Structure 1
Amino acid sequence: MIILFLLVLAFFAAVGLTGWLRRYALASHLIDIPNARSSHTLPTPRGGGLAIVAVFLASLPIFYAVGDLPWVDVAAFVGAGGLVASVGFLDDRGHVSVRWRLLAHFLAAAWVLWCLGGMPALIVTDSIWVRGLLTGAGLFYLVWLLNLYNFMDGIDGLAGLEAFSVCLGGALLYGTGGHSGLLLVLAAAVAGFLYWNLPPAKIFMGDGGSGFLGIVLGIFSLQAAWVSPQFFWSWLILLGVFIVDATWTLLRRWCQGDKVYQAHRSHAYQYAARAYGHRLVSLVVMAINVLWLLPIALWVSSGLSAGFGLALAYIPLLGLAVVFKAGAKEGGG
């Protein structure tokens, strides 16, 4: 009963707070003006993702008070999520250089690993060198995940529907234990934001919200890995659409000699949105997550080979990225 009350409260709080942020953005001229690299055509207020940040962070003391969330996990979410959201919001309001943003991202990732006791033992080993490599990999994993989430937040509803479906999938992995309740609260907060963000969007998430979702989902995936290494691979499968599109696009742009840190609109989802519209593409991604990736993730969590599960999930996604010319220059092949 308590969790149901929290879900309803989180949803309506996010709806109300996003509406307030929209009015604030309009009054403060915090507007996303379309340009040659945009996927939208109308000036739209941004920064609505801060509603998700506020609602989720406000729920943490409740879960801590009832004994469902250790203090170190609270510290990881508040410290890393708060830092990433703050830097992202500053970038939304003005401009923060890539150098300082990345510094903040690495500090946030390092804080997460320190709070959680390092990278989970995905490989059974006594070698201090291997453990060090795993920790380094975990650092870059978190930084990449929060940045790719920002890259993939380019059309109406997509980043929100991705977070909503991934949170529900993550909660199913745990069943009634683990962090399932907290994941459902995050899903409810995202749903409240989506009330304003589904096509045609009345407000955008902004870098503060997208970066926050990226780092928070990364924290959840590492927490899951501490429960069972299989759960980590299941999380990578749940996040497959974003991971494959963003990674393939970055690699292709890098191979072409493009400046990978510059804004662009050459992701597969962006090409697809220009052909079929924002609403259809966002709903198709949601369907892929629920009907394709979630069953494979659950299968892996129950004992299927992680390598086979990742291949089964990622190969079709890679095929879609190629078909939709992810990373290709506009007008090119």
Structure 2
Amino acid sequence: MPGFIPWLLLLFLVTAAATWAARRYAIHRQLVDQPGERRSHSIATPRGGGIAIVVALLLAAVVLGSQASGDAGLFAAFGVGLLLVAGIGWWDDHRPLPASWRLLVHLLAALIFAAALYRHGAPAWQAGLAVMAILVLVNVWNFMDGIDGLATSQALLVAVAGAFFMNGPWSWLAAALFAACCGFLPFNFPRARIFLGDVGSGALGFALGALLSLVPGTAKIAPWLFLLPPAAFLVDAGFTLATRILRGERWWTPHVTHVYQRAARRYGHVAVTTLYALFSGVTLLLMWMLSNAGTGYGLMATLVWYAFALALWGWLRKGLS
């Protein structure tokens, strides 16, 4: 494996340079998100900067796959799936596509990775988990990518959990995701000079879904604990979506009813992104504190944290309505 610090530094620089180039490209092609009643930003901003994260992750997958020969096929499937999800997102950033088209490509990417995981020796239930995790997180990260720095910073924190609490080359891929998010974040926070776009939010969701599906075979700690860092996103996205469905709304269309969107209108993007980061940062501390706990204790801690997150979501939603 490459040296750890040079590895992170290289991917950070690659992402930063690619983000700078992506911003120039977006301005030249007029790929700009305009403010509107269904958006949370107030000035026109270029989109599609997440392609830089895709470049860094593909580089990481090639290097790690070439050095971890036993996992080469799985890294190849990861790269193909990432290209599919990022590719349909890149297309959508240029020319909006029907949601059904995007979902079909997401499903294909998930199935390719799951099939590779199964051929790699994982049980069928873990391959099924990969499909579910990828489909859920691709869409969750797309739903939650609405204010400056939020989606990137949350992905960064989940990646930290993978880097520290997973074994083998996949912990290096999690570290690569961390470095890529660090390279992109200065362009996106505290004031966004470019947005991730669907290419970026989809890529982040795919990478995180793939990593989480590998937890059962690579975790240093109770596997349930890996559900702690994405709790803020899963609760806000999941229960907001459920609420819209129950109300008979067109749940697949853009909206500004997530708790983070309501809070951003009142308190600003920087405050909300920072508070979400603090909430998720606490989960990393919990993972460390519970690192010697058994699976039963890990499950109990996860359920308690999600109950707390749901209660907090309900309280904030009521207060911000």
CA contact (8 A) 1:120 1:225 kept: no
Change (3 A) 1:220 1:136: closer
Worse-matched range after superposition: 218-227 or 84-93? 218-227
Give 3-state SS (helix, strand or coil) of 1:104's partner.
Answer: helix
User: How far is 1:182 from its partner?
Assistant: 1.9
CA contact (8 A) 1:300 1:309 kept: no
- Which blocks of at least 5 consecutive residues in structure 2 are unaligned? none
Change (3 A) 1:301 1:166: farther
Corresponding position: 1:310 with 2:302: yes
Task: Please name the residue that 1:125 is paired with.
Answer: none
Corresponding position: 1:271 with 2:262: yes
Task: Please name the residue that 2:35 is paired with.
Answer: 34
Change (3 A) 1:114 1:229: farther
Residues 164-179 of structure 1 correspond to what in structure 2 (within 5 A)? Answer: 164-174=156-166, 177-179=168-170
CA contact (8 A) 2:16 2:183 kept: yes
User: How far is 1:68 from its partner?
Assistant: 7.1
Corresponding position: 1:216 with 2:207: yes
Task: Please name the residue that 2:316 is paired with.
Answer: 324
- Structure-2 separation of matches of 1:28 and 1:35: 21
User: How far is 1:324 from its partner?
Assistant: 2.4
Give 3-state SS (helix, strand or coil) of 1:117's partner.
Answer: helix
Give 3-state SS (helix, strand or coil) of 1:47's partner.
Answer: coil
Which one of the candidate residues 159, 179, 196 is aligned to 1:205?
A: 196
- Structure-1 separation of matches of 2:230 and 2:70: 23
Corresponding position: 1:105 with 2:106: yes
- Structure-2 separation of matches of 1:240 and 1:209: 20
Task: Please name the residue that 1:183 is paired with.
Answer: 174
User: How far is 1:174 from its partner?
Assistant: 2.4
Corresponding position: 1:294 with 2:284: yes
Which one of the candidate residues 204, 226, 230 is aligned to 1:235?
A: 226
Residues 14-53 of structure 1 correspond to what in structure 2 (within 5 A)? Answer: 14-53=15-54
User: How far is 1:3 from its partner?
Assistant: 2.0
Task: Please name the residue that 2:217 is paired with.
Answer: 226
CA contact (8 A) 2:61 2:76 kept: no
CA contact (8 A) 2:117 2:127 kept: no
- Structure-2 separation of matches of 1:57 and 1:210: 15
CA contact (8 A) 1:173 1:301 kept: no
Give, as a single letter, the amino acid of the residue that structure 2 aligns with 1:294: L
Task: Please name the residue that 1:161 is paired with.
Answer: 153
Change (3 A) 1:69 1:278: farther
- Structure-2 separation of matches of 1:120 and 1:41: 47
* Identity between Structure 1 and Structure 2 (%): 34
Deviations along 1:46-71, one digit per CA (max 9) or x if unpaired, are 00000000011012222123227711
Residues 53-202 of structure 1 correspond to what in structure 2 (within 5 A)? Answer: 53-67=54-68, 70-117=71-118, 136=128, 138-174=130-166, 177-202=168-193
Change (3 A) 1:225 1:151: same
Deviations along 1:102-130, one digit per CA (max 9) or x if unpaired, are 11111111111101018955xxxxxxxxx
- Structure-1 separation of matches of 2:149 and 2:300: 31
C-alpha RMSD over aligned residues: 2.3
- Structure-1 separation of matches of 2:308 and 2:188: 28
Give, as a single letter, the amino acid of the residue that structure 2 aligns with 1:215: F
Deviations along 1:48-95, one digit per CA (max 9) or x if unpaired, are 000000011012222123227711221221111110000011111111
- Structure-2 separation of matches of 1:201 and 1:120: 41
- Structure-2 separation of matches of 1:75 and 1:178: 13
Give, as a single letter, the amino acid of the residue that structure 2 aligns with 1:99: S
- Structure-2 separation of matches of 1:109 and 1:228: 21
User: How far is 1:178 from its partner?
Assistant: 4.7
TM-score by length of 2: 0.92
Change (3 A) 1:243 1:302: same
CA contact (8 A) 2:224 2:295 kept: no
Change (3 A) 1:67 1:137: closer
Change (3 A) 1:282 1:189: same
TM-score by length of 1: 0.88
Change (3 A) 1:138 1:179: closer
CA contact (8 A) 2:47 2:194 kept: yes
Change (3 A) 1:90 1:301: farther
Change (3 A) 1:249 1:301: farther
